[in-house]
Structure 1
Amino acid sequence: MDPFKANDDAVKNSIGRFAKLEKAYPARFDNFHFITNHGFWSEKENGNNLSYIRDQICERGNLDGLTKANLLKKFVSGLCGEHGCDEAHVVAAMLKLVLFGQKTDLERPYKDLRETVGDVRDYRRTQTFDTLTRVADNLIYLCQQASSCVLGGEVADLYSLVMDFDAQRDTLLLAGKTITAGRVEEVIRQSLIEDAENLLVASGAVSADVLPPGFDVMVEKLERGGLQMERVDVLKDFKASMETLYLKWLHRHGVEEANRRLVHLKALVKDDCVEAKLSVEQPGQKYASPMYARLRQLLEDRLRTSTLPMYDCSKEHLLGAAGILTEECTVWWSDRFDLKAVR
């Protein structure tokens, strides 16, 4: 792929989003980072050179006195027209724009992250290679959570005594997308724990698709089956842990092998879910709690006796796979019903 030029759609769309953020949350952002492993075009100082345009705007501080034919004015005006932004917000975003281009393959940034983690606190001398890889995996997962549509806080926070549900939802959505130094420190701390090869990571968020008074798909199904909320919260964390393990496989072994492992484990767990359900179900009655207890036992037995590969999974990871199957509507914990949650 060629280096990015200022008028490429990907570049304009990103800056347009930055401008909208600046408009919606003035003075909340110190910088907007545009990071790519393809690099930025810089052969000439013209309208294709994003770094040149950014530097010129930063030097001026504004576009006052420029004609419509000026390349800075044309670039900013074009963004305003395409993204419905004001000139002041585009300029504010450009003043905060940080460009980081690295002409490398996709694998290189992952290696760089692992090496950087080792250099930050001299972990190269005190931690093993596998530990640094685990730290990198979990930092990547932290970013993946922040980039997805999840809400910060707990379900109860969404239904606190506020008049404006949409405003509260936006506040929690922003919290879910905020990566603080404390969150990074906690991920590193957990990853450094001895024998934390299969680190269990708390989900710490609820689905942004939740609509009052419903739940996300998995929680709604478990709630309908009568499973205790403490167990529901635990299962949410186990599901997040299984997803973390999948991401580790993805980075270490590639998409095909990661998918093969997940499909294999889901098939085994689905079999145990079916057996657990058939052993306890009573039509018309709630049976999620005894089904959960029975499933835990079946998974423990499988890990102890099975000759099939388990890829170093714990019982908790397999329970997380059951959570994924529940989210996919492959597994039910009660009689079937029409879901209120939006998937």
Structure 2
Amino acid sequence: MVVDQNFLKVKKYFLLIIFFLLFASKSYSNNYTFTKIIELDEPWGSSFINNDEIIITEKSGKIKIVNIISKEVTEIKHNLNFLEVGQGGLLDIIHQDNTLWISYSEDRGNLKTSTSIAKAQLNKQELNFKNIFQANPPIDSGYHFGSRLAIKDNYIYASAGERGQGMIAQDPTKHPGSIIRIHTDGRIPKDNPKFTGKPDWLPEIYQIGVRNPQGLTLSDYDGKIYLSNHGARGGDWFGEAKKGENYGWKILGWGGKNYSGIPIGPKWKPGFTKAIQYWVPSIATSAITIYRGNEFKEWNGHALVTSLKDRSLRKLIFNDPTNVKENVIFKDNVGRIRDIQVHPSNGKIFFLSENALWLMEKK
């Protein structure tokens, strides 16, 4: 039997294309599989709205709903008065009970912006947001907006970066460089620090002394709010949000240095909140979560910390703060990691990289 060589070449080429289509969007690391769900443009924040759909912000100004099963994408119109400048744009988003909250860099005029929070009822055609918080004063800077959101009971917690202004984080009469706590409708809690021993503090401020906190989450296990924070050249950390306390920026350097190489200050000293875990050199900590789910049930109660710089996922066992155990789960499988979400029913993990939505599951 004579076989047409051209036919064999075409068949081989066809099989290679099929192989590429099947596996190009997947990568593997140890016992995990990573699948690219869909490509995006600088996604920043995400939140599940049901078991099949996740709502995502893109820094450039788009809000999208992605169906993780069909991969269908719906873009939603909105009325946010945002300014994409430097690290600013649309930032975090969180969904609960058919309501959305979003943090973003608000255009305050004359190139000044603030880390602001707005609220809207979920509508898949158009979102009518109304502001419930503005970080004051507005600042002409493209640096360090934060900003993550977390809901506990009837309160929303938010991180507001210090906008590159350093010691503003030590001024409780200004919002930048602090953790904010307000009611989910924007009202100010009567037990915030201003009313319980810190009369000089702005009423929305819960804690001061942070630099650029891009991770914030509620633990379902102990009911506490945890955060991660960018240092400068070193000095990233993971810690707990504590009422009326001070993480020390820029008196403390948390082990890091200025970009000029000049030391900032001590890693920690009495009178300031002590972080649970530090990273020197910097890993560029980003979003965090306290894992709860079935897919990786051996991780339940452990902190998952994502990284931009070394593109890693790290797991912290931190029930004993004097003996924190850290494991690097993977590096370089999905790129720089901006956000992390755990599926509400099956516990599979979803990441936002700089250009895509990824799924992580066991092999």
TM-score in same-fold range (> 0.5): no
More helix per residue? 1
More strand per residue? 2
Structure label with greater radius of gyration: 1
TM-score by length of 1: 0.27
TM-score by length of 2: 0.26
